[in-house]
Amino acid sequence: MALIKRNTWQREAVRKALASSPSFVSAQQLHAKLESAGSAIGLATVYRALASLAEMNEVDCLNSPEGEQLYRSCASGHHHHHLICRSCGKAVELEADTVEKWTAAVAKQHGFTEVSHVVDMFGTCAECSASSE
């Protein structure tokens, strides 16, 4: 009963636009970027493409402090966290064995199961804090 996936230029355009951005971007930003680059792509399609890419683990997805969903293409398939610049969106991928172990231990200790965790850091990167002076 699995749906057959078709390849459309829209999905590919989203993938490329994401790949060309080192920063986390919102679906709306991505849509604007694509439109201004000449692609007549619909906003709904961008959302759908992002959701499908996220499900395939081709992109990282996180919630900004403002409540928006942010996306970034992600080559490394394994679990990791981010340090994100509030100003320019630039992100550093973080390995965090320490944190993984800590969360697992704490969850077990309190009898919680099916535990997922959100570990993200937001700050101002060196370039942005330099340029704002």
Partner DNA sequence: TTCTTATTGAGAACTCATCTCAATATAGGC
Partner DNA sequence: GCCTATATTGAGATGAGTTCTCAATAAGAA
Region class of 120: left (phi > 0), else alpha (psi between -120 and 50), else beta: beta
Of the candidate spans 48-56, 77-85, 91-99, 121-129, the one that interacts with DNA by CB under 7 A turns out to be 48-56
Tell me how far apart the alpha carbons of residues 58 and 40 are, in angstroms, rounded to a whole number: 23
Among DNA, a second copy, none, partner that 85 touches (CB below 5 to 8 angstroms by kind): a second copy
Is the torsion defined by CA of 83, 15, 18, 35 positive or negative?
negative
**Residue 47, both tokens:** 């959302």
Q: Is 81 in the site for DNA (CB under 7 A)?
A: no
Say which entry of DNA, a second copy, none residue 21 contacts (CB below 5 to 8 A, set by partner kind): none
Q: Which residues bind DNA (CB under 7 A)?
A: 3-11, 26-28, 40-45, 47-49, 51, 66-69
